[in-house]
Amino acid sequence: EGWMDADAHRAMVEHAARANMNMVRVWGGGMILPDAFYDECDRQGLMIFHDMMYAQPGHPPKATATQDAELRHIIRRLSHHPAIAVWDGCNECAVKMDQWTSIFATFVMTVVAQEDTSRAVWPSCPADGWAT
């Protein structure tokens, strides 16, 4: 991801579209991709299921001013892209309100929902959905 130039990101999305994919996932254990990726998804009509950049217990969020600002920056930078279909909190961390993973609902996805009211927010990938 980090070593690929803009042309490589565009080609990756073009190949996904040619393969008749209709959605790709930005993995939470990776990185926020360059603008060329999101721009090409928009152009090709390819939807994005977008993780926040947290993965398993090894990289949990902390409700700090720095992480709040980072989340807000990411959503503000990307939310204008029509390709983004859904935001989700993390990679492979079952969000349960009585466990440490509740921070994904009480902090991460709360910030995301505040910044982008136009899209669905999902607890994690995979997830059973939200419980009340």
Catalytic positions, please? 92
Burial of 49 (0-12, 13-18, 19+ CB in 10 A): middle
DSSP reduced 3-state for 116: coil
Burial of 26 (0-12, 13-18, 19+ CB in 10 A): buried
